[in-house]
Amino acid sequence: MTGMHTGHGHDERVEDRRYLAASLGLLLAFMVAEVVFGIVAGSLALLADAGHMLTDAAALGLALLAAWAAGLPARGRWTFGFGRAEILAAQLNGVTLVVVGLVIFVEAVRRLVNPPDVEGGIVFIVAVAGIAVNAVIVWLLSHARRENLNVRGAYLHIATDLAAFVGTAIAGLLVVATGWDRFDPIASLLVAGLMFAAAYELLTESARVFLEAAPESARPTEVGEALAAHPGVAEVHDLHVWTVTSGFPALSSHVLVDPGADCHRIRLELETMLRDRFGIDHSTLQVEHVGVSSGLEIRSSARAS
């Protein structure tokens, strides 16, 4: 059995936290600037957008906190450490995307029915500034490990915000060019759709981890067949494959080997095969000879069924 915390993994988590912290700092600076210029200019549009940026800042802050917690060592009752804090953060970010998307959807429908006057020029300027800032943040987060569900949650938050600003900029230009105010809510509906799609991905993947489903890279049927096909193995049962947190699959199983076979050698070979073929570094294998304890009866009943 191998442990969860390796030096390489620790370095990757530190890098993730650096990118998240840099992104959060840039986002907060832009948000403060929006508030200042919004007050000076008396622009409600700027202040409203600053409020929207606050939700993104909260998402990044939550992701940063979860990344820090995931780096804490296992201790006491927390034998797997705190890695699932990242999965919880990803799930909360998914819920946030749903809530924000619903708010945008309802407001967009209301504005389609009764479109207010839209200052297309102000909308365009704010959107261009938002595109610039979010593009830099997306670039920063693209260097972090997006296979990590927590990082991907933060990334999707900012990526959908970038798409929102692009849509808003186009809508602002169209409003200026045509005077048709409904371009603004139409763009908002498209943005809400992107948010729902991103939320679906985060919520379904985080739910799989919480429900301890096997990862796509290690389907139980394929893993069981690979174990059973190993030379010297007579039977495999009580096989469990699950995901502790992003990038940390785990396995436990009872393996019966032929009489006279070297249990220790076969266990080491199976652990190596699981690591190389399925990416499972954390495995617990109970290896016994056929006929030990209740193994013979289990084998016989399994074949009879």
Phi-psi map region of 286: left, alpha, beta (phi>0 left; psi -120 to 50 alpha): beta
To the nearest whole number, what is the mean pLDDT of the chain? 81
Predicted local distance difference test score (pLDDT) of residue 46: 55
Q: Where are the beta strands (DSSP E) in the chain?
A: 233-245, 248-257, 282-289
Predicted local distance difference test score (pLDDT) of residue 49: 63
Go through 33-49 and write b for each residue having 16 or more CB atoms within 10 A of its CB, e for each that does not.
ebbeebeeeebebbeeb
Segment holding 64, helix H or strand E: helix 44-70
Predicted local distance difference test score (pLDDT) of residue 265: 94
Sheet strand arrangement including 248-257: 233-245, 248-257, 282-289
Q: Which domains does the chain have, with CATH numbers?
A: 7-210 (1.20.1510.10), 220-304 (3.30.300.30)
SS3 assignment, position 107: helix
pLDDT in tens, 186-205: 887 888 888 898 889 889 98
Low-confidence ranges of the chain (pLDDT < 70): 1-11, 38, 40-52, 118-120, 146-147, 292-305
SS3 assignment, position 181: coil
pLDDT in tens, 153-180: 888 888 887 887 788 788 878 878 887 7
Tell me what percent of the residues of the chain surpass a pLDDT of 70: 85
Predicted local distance difference test score (pLDDT) of residue 51: 65
